[in-house]
Amino acid sequence: MGPQFNEGEIAITTQTKFRENQGKVVLLKEYLGRQRWNGLTEPQHVWLVECLCDESYLYYLHEHQRELTRTFVGQMPEHFLRRISVESGQGVLDLHAISDTVSNSDVSV
């Protein structure tokens, strides 16, 4: 089975080993193929991802060097990603479709 995502999609990181990596909004830049990933039994579809929020980093522990690194761009298995945008445009709010009664109200957001 192929990857669930496409290049250019946006996802959020979930259930990662380090809690500091959870909830990061990332852009899927490049599909890197199936790879073994520490802590997971089966090879995973892995992506090169980029954090989209300022001051947001991904953390990686290199066990052999016992070194923790932080970076804006890094690898992430699909196992830890949940889609928050779809390439086809589904889920995009069309502001022109909102009725005049809403746009003319006194409500502030």
CB atoms within 10 A of CB 32: 15
Q: What percent of the chain shows pLDDT beyond 90?
A: 52
The dihedral formed by the CA atoms of 62, 31, 25 and 43, expressed in degrees to the nearest 10: -50
What's the DSSP call for residue 39? T
- For 42-53, the pLDDT digits (tens) are 999 999 999 999
- For 65-86, the pLDDT digits (tens) are 788 889 999 999 999 999 985 5
**Cα distance between residue 91 and residue 74, in whole Å:** 27
Q: Enter the pTM of the model.
A: 0.73
